[in-house]
Amino acid sequence: MNEIRTIKLYSSLSGKKEVFEPIVPGRIGMYVCGPTVYNDVHLGNCRTFVSFDVIYRYLQHIGYKVRYVRNITDVGHLLDDGEDRMSKGARLDQLEPMEVAQKYTVGFHDMMRIFNTHSPSIEPRATGHIPEQIAMVQDIIDRGYGYIKNGSVYFDVIKFAKENPAVYGKLSGRVIDELLAESRENLKNQDEKNHPADFAIWIKASEEHIMRWKSPWSVGFPGWHLECSAMSTKYLGQTFDIHGGGGDLKFPHHENEVAQNFGACGCQPARYWLHANMLLLNGRKMSKSEGNTISPQELFSGDSSFVSKGYSPMVVKFFMLMAHYRSTLDITDDALLAAEKGFRKLMDTNKLLQGMSIDPRDFDGSESDTDRAILQLIDEAYQGMDDDFNTAMALASLNELGSYVNKLANKQIAAGEVAPWVLERLKTVFHTFISDILGLKDETSGDGDDTVDGLMELILDIRGMARAQKDWTTSDKIRDALAEVGIQVKDGKEGVSWSKQ
């Protein structure tokens, strides 16, 4: 068994990069906050889940057994008026809450498939874990951090923060004194909470509320942050390795999650907290109300004033991976155009590489500078991933490796300069990074379509014959006609190849 590579990751809890050490050697428990299924999936959501998908894939690639839990939240998010989000959606659409949840869950899964992400190991639903949530509310009450008001249960943030000053606020950088000060002013517009910073963990359902369950305190429903605490505990244990999510969940969601877990068990839920950063559109945050937004579908179809054309899902994914997951990423048409070209080039290079072989008789038997450079770049690709999953760095190395591939194909590097085993290693690494780690796939080439491949072979063969006779009219006609249907013919030193644009 190979030794697992040492990786570093940036944890929001400590605010710095740390060397990752699993609780159980060789195994990782990772929890990522999934979507609330009351709406079509947001593009920013896609970036977060693509980021964690790559993290999941890489951890597995380097040898960890990973249990990846990503929830579906189908209850528990409150609106301003206290109405549950799910039931509001239900009323508007005249659907059962579960119907709404089902519809958007399916849509979410479709989108994740379009982005070629792996399914989590477990995808628990909040409504499927009501008993666990009720049990956790009881634990919190038993440990003195919950109080009951008219059938609802609230988490006593002030008491918790005072008794655990090193815990509350650490993740999001909140200052407890400020929390206390701020509150006095707000004390007048009181609701049931003792303090504005407190939050509901169980809510008594009003008469017309459709989603309701029996509990010791009332017929009601669980609070918004509780499902993640309860489900992560159930499937990964009280303390697990990695907790992830979008950066905007840091506060209050994750901070309160920590408080709940700590309040229930006296321990930190996760050792490392990872947060993916936001997506911007033309330098500004995406906002529906300001019209500064684009949906995944609009991005794919080009049906939006923000883009000049449609971009395929893999181009969008590649674009996301060109940036580090912890940086904000600005979507612009120019940037997407650049990503599209870069992606196609990488795919073409990979295709070229996978078809290459070196005749051992050409190999001069010595290790060359080229060999060393290639091995060095491969190492750098891995180092990039080891360093907080820096996909941008890994892609930069792949691009540089790609230039060697092309040079080799163009005979600008002699075949004898690359050792056969180095070429094999390069082929494996390229394929591994593109398919297994980054989860990219070539969506434009013939993709094993024998009919298309056969036809293209015939067409290019005829063109070759025409060219041999210097019949430029015929050969150019073929080239131009193919270009019109989006097929680019590439005349190389080693013969003709083609790719779909």
Partner RNA sequence: GGUAUCGUGGCCGAGUGGUUAGGCACAGGUCUGCAAAACCUGCUACAGCGGUUCGAAUCCGCUCGAUACCUCCA
Annotate 189-213 with b (16+ C-beta within 10 A) or e (fewer). eeeebbbbbbbbbbbbbeeebebbb
**Rounded Cα–Cα distance for residues 28 and 30 (Å):** 6
Among positions 436-465, residues that touch RNA (CB under 7 A) are none
**In this chain, which of 20, 22, 31, 47 binds RNA, going by CB under 7 A?**
47
Distances in Å between the Cα of 402 and the Cα atoms of 159, 228, 368, 411, 442 are 58, 43, 18, 14, 16
The CA angle 161-21-1, to the nearest 5 degrees, is 155
Q: Please say which residue, 2 or 382, places its beta carbon nearer to RNA.
A: 382
Q: Please say which residue, 28 or 249, places its beta carbon nearer to RNA.
A: 249
> Least distance from C-beta 38 to RNA, angstroms?
9
Q: Please say which residue, 23 or 476, places its beta carbon nearer to RNA.
A: 476
The span of 120-128, 276-284, 354-362, 431-439 binding RNA (CB under 7 A) equals 276-284
> Least distance from C-beta 24 to RNA, angstroms?
27
Q: Please say which residue, 47 or 129, places its beta carbon nearer to RNA.
A: 47
**Rounded Cα–Cα distance for residues 445 and 487 (Å):** 9
Q: Please say which residue, 271 or 463, places its beta carbon nearer to RNA.
A: 463
Among positions 325-364, residues that touch RNA (CB under 7 A) are 327-330, 332, 334-335, 337-339, 341-342, 345, 348
Among positions 161-200, residues that touch RNA (CB under 7 A) are 172-175, 178, 195-199
Q: Please say which residue, 23 or 282, places its beta carbon nearer to RNA.
A: 282
Count of other CB atoms within 10 angstroms of residue 120 = 22
Contact 274, 10 (CB under 8 A): yes
With CB under 7 A as the rule, give the number of residues binding RNA: 89
3 state SS of 315? helix
Instruction: Tell whether residue 85 is a contact of RNA (CB under 7 A).
Output: yes
Instruction: Tell whether residue 158 is a contact of RNA (CB under 7 A).
Output: no
The span of 103-111, 159-167, 264-272, 473-481 binding RNA (CB under 7 A) equals 473-481
**In this chain, which of 7, 171, 242, 276 binds RNA, going by CB under 7 A?**
276
Contact 68, 241 (CB under 8 A): no
Binding track, positions 229-268, relative to RNA; x by CB under 7 A: ----------------xxxxxxxxx---------------
Instruction: Tell whether residue 127 is a contact of RNA (CB under 7 A).
Output: no
Q: Please say which residue, 1 or 468, places its beta carbon nearer to RNA.
A: 468
> Least distance from C-beta 75 to RNA, angstroms?
12
The span of 57-65, 119-127, 266-274, 409-417 binding RNA (CB under 7 A) equals 409-417
> Least distance from C-beta 277 to RNA, angstroms?
7
Q: Please say which residue, 192 or 248, places its beta carbon nearer to RNA.
A: 248
**In this chain, which of 66, 286, 426, 460 binds RNA, going by CB under 7 A?**
286
Among positions 60-79, residues that touch RNA (CB under 7 A) are 77-79
The span of 62-70, 265-273, 275-283, 423-431 binding RNA (CB under 7 A) equals 275-283
Q: Please say which residue, 45 or 215, places its beta carbon nearer to RNA.
A: 45
Distances in Å between the Cα of 242 and the Cα atoms of 200, 274, 277 are 25, 7, 17
Q: Please say which residue, 290 or 450, places its beta carbon nearer to RNA.
A: 290
The span of 125-133, 307-315, 318-326, 444-452 binding RNA (CB under 7 A) equals 318-326
**Rounded Cα–Cα distance for residues 320 and 50 (Å):** 8
**Rounded Cα–Cα distance for residues 417 and 415 (Å):** 5
Sign of the CA dihedral 391, 23, 275, 169?
Answer: negative
> Least distance from C-beta 412 to RNA, angstroms?
5
**Rounded Cα–Cα distance for residues 477 and 62 (Å):** 50
Among positions 383-402, residues that touch RNA (CB under 7 A) are 384, 387-388, 390, 392-393, 395-396, 399-400, 402
Q: Which residues, including other chains, have CB under 8 Å from residue 288's CB and lie 6 or more apart?
A: none
Q: Please say which residue, 27 or 113, places its beta carbon nearer to RNA.
A: 113
Conformational region of residue 157, where left means phi above 0, alpha means psi within -120 to 50, and beta covers everything else:
alpha
Instruction: Tell whether residue 269 is a contact of RNA (CB under 7 A).
Output: no
Count of other CB atoms within 10 angstroms of residue 275 = 22
Q: Which two tokens stand for residue 414?
A: 């002699």
Q: Which two tokens stand for residue 17?
A: 């990069």
**In this chain, which of 6, 119, 308, 403 binds RNA, going by CB under 7 A?**
403
Distances in Å between the Cα of 86 and the Cα atoms of 93, 222, 398 are 11, 13, 45
The label of the residue with tokens 């993916």 reads: 276
Amino acid (1-letter code) at residue 277: N
**In this chain, which of 22, 29, 35, 220 binds RNA, going by CB under 7 A?**
35
Q: Which two tokens stand for residue 438?
A: 């980054």
The span of 210-218, 307-315, 319-327, 428-436 binding RNA (CB under 7 A) equals 319-327
Tell me the backbone φ, ψ of residue 277, rounded to 5 degrees.
-90, 175
**Closest of 203, 197, 208 to residue 222, by C-alpha:** 203
Q: Please say which residue, 226 or 236, places its beta carbon nearer to RNA.
A: 226
The span of 213-221, 271-279, 419-427, 428-436 binding RNA (CB under 7 A) equals 271-279
Contact 201, 154 (CB under 8 A): yes
**Rounded Cα–Cα distance for residues 195 and 158 (Å):** 8
The CA angle 361-364-367, to the nearest 5 degrees, is 130
